[in-house]
Amino acid sequence: MTQEQTPMRICYVAYPTSLTLGSANAVQTYSTLCELRSQYADLQIIIPRMTSAHNPFDALGVTYIPRIGIGRLSRLHKSTLWYYAERSVFAWIVFVLLWVQQLRGTRTAVIYVREVICAYWLSQWAPRWLRAQVVYEVHHLESTNHSRPKEVWAAALVQRIDTVTLSMPARLVSLTSTFRQLLEKQGLRMAATVDILPDAYNATIYHQSDAVVARDALAIPRDLNVICYAGLTFAYRRLELLVQAFAQLDQECRAKSRMYFVGGRPQEIAVLVLQVASLGLQDAVFFTGVQSQTVVAQYMAASDILVIPDTVTDETASPLKLFEYMATGRVVLCPEMQSLREIIGSDGACVFERGNLDSLTAQLTKLIRSPELRKDIAGRGLNAVSPHTYQNRATRLIAVCRTAVSE
């Protein structure tokens, strides 16, 4: 059936942590919404308004709800529960807004939500009071979230959040098949009601580019092997392991190589700078700080080896940088993980034993010494990642919403 034959109003509810694309969460949300807006007319986007300053989301015609900064109270008493309360209030306002719209004759057919507390409330209320189906894009179990409340008494609340958000939405969307299998294995959700929607890359920014041009623009010597890690934040990514591996390279490999860390908060960079100094690597390891996406893409293009030392999650691991790395046509070095294998396939990246310093060092050495191997693996990675554009992601998201409504 065509969109015209089956009118279906979609409401996309998100809580990006940065309206200026200063987090992976915000980048993924914004990039998905850009494509959704271009493909689907009957779409409402609801996000919190954090400041009055102009931001990229303005151009998408979003409905802003003023952010009530309850989470800031964590400065007085540190607890994730403040953020739970903030997002709860946001979810309640979203519900009231959609309810008023329904009274005025505009009914939402499906609510697509990618924030756990919003999913908790809307999946309970929307089907009954709004006659709307809820699709929840789940990124992890809340009980395994590093940022979950640590109060002992809150454990039952966290478990309740998992129970509701995994059982009540019409459909779940997972970034990986590995996580879908885990949900079914633990009896949390039947696999048939979980759709796989991997992350993606922006093909207008991340694509094959000339390495010499990129190096000249960034003042990087042409005759060196360039190793790069790019990420908005460094926390929980085991970057210290990568620094140690670089220090363990033999003298010949280290002498003809340079390593760049692109991104990171000042406090995260400071810790690594101390490690680099203690190992005497100041002349070979560089920190650029946070850069625009176009400059980040330049660093990737200037690189020979792009590294993911570790991921924040396990079964749900689907880092944006993996897609962006592969799309630039450079070889990727990443941990051996089933969730990453879903994207890289059997031979689209070079892998090492997760958390094993010697394994990481050995693979890094192998890639430095073999330009032809790098080229072969990078080519296979480029082919593997090519379907994972945001255009395709948006198309599949719309199809998931249609399924939720038709069931």
Query: What are 181-205's pLDDT values in tens digits?
Result: 999 999 999 999 999 999 999 999 9
Answer for the pair 227, 305: CB distance below 8 angstroms, yes or no: yes
d(CA 320, CA 249): 28
- Enter the tokens of residue 385: 């990642």
What is the dotted CATH code of the domain comprising 211-385? 3.40.50.2000
What single-letter DSSP state applies at residue 201?
Answer: B
Alpha helices of 345-389 — where are they, by DSSP H? 357-369, 371-385
Q: Span 10-200+390-406: which CATH code?
A: 3.40.50.2000
| Count, residues in the chain | 407
pLDDT of 6 reads: 56
DSSP state, residue 189: S
pLDDT digits over 13-28, tens only? 999 988 988 888 899 9
Residue 141 pLDDT class (50, 70, 90 cuts): very high
pLDDT above 70 coverage of the chain, percent: 99
Q: Under DSSP, is residue 137 helix (H, G, I), strand (E, B) or coil?
A: strand
Of the candidates 310, 254, 305, 256, which has an alpha carbon nearest to the alpha carbon of residue 279?
A: 254
pLDDT of residue 307: 97
Q: How many CB atoms lie within 10 A of CB 269?
A: 18
Query: Which residue ranges make up each domain of the chain?
Result: 10-200+390-406, 211-385
Please determine whether the domains at 10-200+390-406 and 211-385 fall in the same fold group of CATH.
yes
CA distance 396 to 407: 17
pLDDT at 313 over 90: no
Q: How far is CA 54 from CA 20, 57, 62, 198, 294, in A?
A: 9, 8, 13, 30, 20
Can you tell me the distance from the alpha carbon of 330 to that of 321, in angstroms, rounded to the nearest whole number? 12
